Amino acid sequence: MDKQNGFTLVEIAIVMVIIGLLIGGVLKGQEIVTNAKIKNLENDFSGVTAAIYSYQDRYRALPGDDSRADKRFGIAKPTEGTLGNGNIEGDFDSNDSKYESNVLWAHLRSAGLVDGDASNSSLPVNSFSGITGVSSKAVLNIANGRTYIGFSKIPNNISIILESRSDDEQPNTGSIRADNGSGTEDTDGYYGDDEMIRNMYFIL
């Protein structure tokens, strides 16, 4: 009778250990990448905040809302809103140069406070492939006139981590707010839907 060939228990155990190590390495790599993205987002907030305050200290006006920036930098004025009123008007993620929230980026670049072409007012992309923007337009329960930095396309699990590290873990209160991805309030809170992609607003 022919002897059947097969794997021994030792061989199977070795294969399982190798598979476990590979899976562990992949998961650890994903964790490192995620942590790096979170850190980049927090650094973006700190960097843009510093740039806005530096611009305000230097020129006595908010970028985007600066009524003399056209003469200083040769940049066309936004046509919507009231220049010089202390508010950055327009949606935080607007790519239309008629709004102050868009022209703000050309002002910051012209002043050398953020990287990029000084004539370019396109909004930067955040580490989660969404938009980074600035506005004072009322959103959720943030009053009109409160300036905030907005980040779009933030996964719900990342929103929870950012809130846990810096605020009160509530999407509708505190210095960090979040909507349900469409600009409206999420009454279920952060723990209502793990698949949700949010806009987050960090109030200055």
Span 120-154, pLDDT tens digits: 889 999 999 999 999 999 988 888 999 999 999 99
Span 14-38, pLDDT tens digits: 777 777 777 766 666 678 889 999 9
Question: Does residue 75 belong to any structural domain of this protein?
Answer: yes
Would you state the structure tokens that stand for residue 166, as one six-digit string? 């810096």
Residue 5: pLDDT band (50, 70, 90) is low
Would you state the structure tokens that stand for residue 146, as one six-digit string? 């409160």
Q: CATH number for the domain including 97?
A: 3.30.1690
- Confidence (pTM): 0.84
Residue 118: pLDDT band (50, 70, 90) is confident
Residue 57: domain span: 9-203
Would you state the structure tokens that stand for residue 99, as one six-digit string? 């709004």
How many domains does the chain divide into?
Answer: 1
What is the C-alpha end-to-end distance of the chain, expressed in Å?
81
pLDDT at position 27, please? 66
Question: Does residue 160 belong to any structural domain of this protein?
Answer: yes
Question: Does residue 25 belong to any structural domain of this protein?
Answer: yes
List residues bridging with 155 in a β-sheet.
197
Whether 95 contacts 153, CB under 8 Å: no
Report the distance separating Cα 115 and Cα 13, nearest Å. Answer: 53
Report the distance separating Cα 64 and Cα 129, nearest Å. Answer: 24
Residue 3: pLDDT band (50, 70, 90) is low
